[in-house]
Structure 1
Amino acid sequence: MIQAIGLTSNSRKELPPALDDVSFDAHAGHVTALLGAQGAGKTTALKLMLELQQGRGITYFRGRPLHRIAHPSREVGVMLGDVPGHPARTVRGQLRMVCAAVGVPVRRADEVLEVVGLVSLRDERLGTLSRGMDRRLGLACALLSDPHTLVLDDPTRGLAAREGHWLHGILRAHAQQGGTVLFTTDDPKEAAGVADRVVTLEKGRLVADQEATDFARTRLRPRVAVRSPYAARLGALLTKEARTGRRSVEVVREDGNRLSVYGSTCADVGETAFRHGILVHQLAEETGDMGPRSAPPGAEQGGDEQRPVETLAGDDLSPLPPPISVRPAPSPLRPLRYELRRAAGVGTGYLTAAAVLVASALLSVLLARIGHTPQARLLAAWPREFPLPPAALGAGLLGAIAFGDEFRHPALAVDRGTVPRRLGLLAAKLLVSAATGLLLAILTVGCDLEMLYLVYGRELTEVPEDWLALGASWLGLVVGCAWAGVLAAGIFRSTSAGLAAVLAVPILVVPLVQKAVEGPSVRTAAGFSLRLRELLLVQWPFGGGRYLAAGARVVVQPVGGALTLSLTALLCAYLLTTLRSRVR
Structure 2
Amino acid sequence: MLQAIGLTSSPRRGLPVAVDDLTFEARPGHVTALLGAPGSGKTAALRLMLELDSGRGVTYFRGRPLHRIRHPAREVGVLLGDVPGHPARTVRGQLRMLCAAAGVPASRADELLETVGLAGLRDQRMGTLSLGMDRLLALASALLGDPHTLVLDAPAEGLSPREECWVHGLLQSHARQGGTVLYTTADPKEAARAADHVVTIEHGRLVADQSADDFSRTRLRPRVAVRTPHAARLAAVVGREARAAGRSVEVVSEASGRLSVYGSTCAEIGDAAFRHGLPVHQLADEVADTGPAGVMTPTGHAHGEREVAPQPAARASGSEPLPSIRRRPARSPLRPLRYELRRLLGVRTATLVMAIVLVASVGLSVLLARSGHAQLPKVLAAWPSSLPLPPAAIGAGVLGAVSFGDEFRYPALAAGRGTVPRRLGLLLAKLLVSAGVTLVLALAVVLAAAEALHLVYGDDLLRIPPNPVAMGASWGALTVGCAWAGLLAAGVFRVATAGVAAVLAVPVLVVPLVQNVLTGSGSRPIDGLPGRLRELMWPRWPHETDRWVAVVVRVVTHPVGTALSLSLSVLICAYLFTSLRSRVRW
TM-score by structure 1 length?
0.83
Name 1:163's counterpart in structure 2. Answer: 163
Secondary structure of the structure 2 residue equivalent to 1:208: strand
CA distance in 2, matches of 1:61, 1:576: 33
Deviation track 1:365-415 (CA, whole Å, cap 9, x = no partner) reads: 233344544433332222333232211121122222222223333333689
Show the 5 A alignment for 1:190-269.
Answer: 190-227=190-227, 230=229, 233-234=230-231, 237-238=234-235, 242=239, 247-251=248-252, 253=254, 259-269=259-269
Structure 1 residue 144, shift from structure 2 partner: 1.6
2:569 maps to 568
Q: Distance in 1 between matches of 2:543 and 2:36?
A: 72
Q: Distance in 2 between matches of 1:285 and 1:436?
A: 66
Shift in Å, 1:221: 1.6
Instruction: Supply the distance in 2 between the matched residues of 1:544 and 1:28 (Cα, whole angstroms).
Output: 66
Distance in 1, matches of 2:67 and 2:418, equals 12
1:293-319 CA deviation, whole Å, 9 max, x = no partner? 9xxxxxxxxxxxxxxxxxxxxxxxxxx
Which residue does 1:25 correspond to in 2? Answer: 25
Matched, 1:176 2:159: no
User: In the TM superposition, what are the counterparts of 1:42-81 in structure 2 within 5 Å?
Assistant: 42-81=42-81
C-alpha displacement at 1:349, in angstroms?
1.2
Which residue of structure 2 aligns with residue 390 of structure 1? 391
- After TM superposition, give the deviation of residue 479 of structure 1 in Å: 0.8
Inter-CA distance 131–331: structure 2 relative to 1 (3 Å threshold): closer
AA in 2 matched with 1:238: A
CA–CA distance in structure 1, aligned partners of residues 370 and 534 of structure 2: 46
How far apart, CA to CA, are the structure 2 residues paired with 1:333 and 1:290?
48
Tell me, which stretches of 5 or more residues in structure 2 are unaligned? 294-330
Q: Which moved more, 1:380-389 or 1:233-242?
A: 233-242
C-alpha distance 464-167 of structure 1, shift in aligned 2 (>3 A): same
**Structure 2 match to 1:534:** 535
After superposition, the Cα gap between the structure-2 partners of 1:15 and 1:377, relative to the gap in structure 1 and judged at 3 Å, is farther
Q: Which residue of 2 is the match for residue 140 of structure 1?
A: 140
Deviations 1:449-505 (A, max 9, x none): 222333333344334334333322221121112122222333333323332332333
The answer to whether the 8 Å contact 2:103/2:333 transfers is: no
Within-5 A mapping of 1:344-363: 344-363=345-364
Say if 1:73 and 1:416, in contact at 8 Å, map to a contact too.
no
Amino acid at match of 2:451: E
| Alignment match, 1:500 | 501
Match of 1:86 in 2: 86
Instruction: Tell me, in whole angstroms, the C-alpha distance in 2 between the residues paired with 1:542 and 1:347.
Output: 47
TM-superposed CA distance for 1:80, in Å, is 1.8
SS in structure 2 opposite 1:225?
strand
Aligned equivalents of 2:332 and 2:55: distance in 1?
A: 34
Q: Residues 15 and 539 of structure 1: is their aligned pair in 2 closer, same or farther, counting only changes over 3 Å?
A: same
Pair 1:522–1:220, CA change in 2 (3 A):
same
Alignment check: 8 A CA contact 1:380 1:444 kept: yes
Q: 1:361 to 1:238 in 2, by over 3 A?
A: same
1:469 counterpart = 2:470: yes
Q: Does the 8 Å contact 1:152/1:182 carry over to 2? A: yes
Equivalent residue, structure 2, for 1:525: 526
Q: Determine which structure has more spread, i.e. the larger CA radius of gyration.
A: 2
Question: 3-state SS of the aligned residue for 1:24?
Answer: strand
Contact 1:73 1:415 in 2 (8 A): no
Secondary structure class of the residue paired with 2:43: helix
Secondary structure, counterpart of 2:178 in structure 1: coil
- For 1:368, the aligned partner's letter is A
**Counterpart residue number, 1:407:** 408
Contact in 1 for aligned 2:235/2:259 (Cα 8 Å): no
Structure 1 position 186, deviation (Å): 0.9
Per-residue CA deviation, residues 546-576 of structure 1 (Å, 9 max, x unaligned), is 2222222322333323322332333333334
Change (3 A) 1:511 1:75: farther
- Asked if 1 retains the 8 angstrom alpha-carbon contact of 2:101 and 2:413, the reply is yes
Amino acid at match of 1:552: V
Q: 1:211 to 1:521 in 2, by over 3 A?
A: same
Q: Distance in 2 between matches of 1:542 and 1:288?
A: 91
The CA distance in 2 between the partners of 1:474 and 1:427, in whole Å, is 22
Q: Distance in 1 between matches of 2:206 and 2:548?
A: 68
Which structure 1 residue ranges, 4+ long, deviate > 6 Å from structure 2?
330-333, 414-418
Paired residue for 1:312? none
TM-score by length of 2: 0.83
Over 3 Å counting, the alpha-carbon distance change for 1:570 and 1:202 in structure 2 is: farther
* Equivalent runs, 1:264-283 vs 2, <5 Å: 264-271=264-271, 273-274=273-274, 279-283=279-283
Residue 558 of structure 1 aligns with which residue? 559
Conserved? CA contact 2:22–2:205, under 8 Å: yes
Matches of 1:276 and 1:418, distance apart in 2: 69
CA distance in 1, matches of 2:421, 2:332: 16
Tell me the equivalent position of 2:316: none
Q: 1:361 and 1:189, CA in 2 relative to 1: closer, same or farther beyond 3 A?
A: same
The 1:420–1:268 alpha-carbon spacing in structure 2 relative to 1, beyond 3 Å, is farther
Aligned residue identity for 1:388: L
Worse-matched range after superposition: 85-94 or 272-281: 272-281
Q: Mark the CA change 1:21 to 1:87 in structure 2 (over 3 Å): closer, same or farther.
A: same
Cα offset, 1:240, TM superposition: 7.8
Match of 2:189 in 1: 189
TM-fit CA distance, 1:253: 2.8
Q: Is the 8 A contact 1:352 1:394 kept in 2?
A: yes
Q: Which residue of 2 aligns with 1:106?
A: 106
Identity of aligned residues (%): 65
Q: Secondary structure at the match of 2:288?
A: strand
For the structure 1 residues 390 and 173, does the alpha-carbon distance in structure 2 shift closer, same or farther, using more than 3 Å as the test?
A: same
Shift of 1:235: 5.8
**Letter of the aligned partner of 1:153 in structure 2?**
D
